[in-house]
Amino acid sequence: MAEGEGAGLAAPPPLGRVVETGLYVDDLARARRFYEDVLGLSPMLADARFVAYPVGETVLLLFLRGTADEAIALPFGGAIPPHDGGGRLHFAFAAAAADIESWRARLTALGVAIEGEVHWPKGSTSLYFRDPDGNLAEIASPGLWANY
């Protein structure tokens, strides 16, 4: 927004949480095996181009790369605009502090390399690892941010 634009507007209404996070994968079947077998997620909706996983109060969407680059008309009206992404992205899952060691053991037992571990000043621990498409996943305990 250019300087001066929006002058006189009221402050925006507050936002809540992030509802969805979308990742783009090269092989949906391979990605599903990882997210379901390694992380224990269960799909709530899936088709040949995407899968949706409930994660706490949010949704993790995996799209087969290149299948969301055109608008999707919905049978009940409206359309989802085109989107797609590339490169290695980063996202984090919340976990109880007491579960970090169990996650470390599970990832190690399943051959998932833990690329990094950080013990944050406020007491949080983060474990960093990659999904099959090279995205950087994190499992973090509370204390990472002022609001988590």
Enter the CATH code of domain 88-148: 3.10.180.10
pTM of the complete model: 0.89
Domain ranges of the chain: 17-69, 88-148
| pLDDT per residue as tens, the chain (148 positions) | 566 676 789 999 888 989 999 999 999 999 999 999 999 999 999 999 999 999 999 999 999 999 999 898 889 999 999 998 888 999 999 999 999 999 999 999 999 999 999 999 999 999 999 999 999 999 999 999 999 9
Question: How far is CA 14 from each of CA 10, 11, 41, 119, 147, rounded to the nearest angstrom?
Answer: 12, 9, 30, 31, 15
Architecture of domain 17-69: 2-Layer Sandwich (3.30)
Which helix (DSSP H) or strand (DSSP E) does residue 137 occupy?
strand 136-140
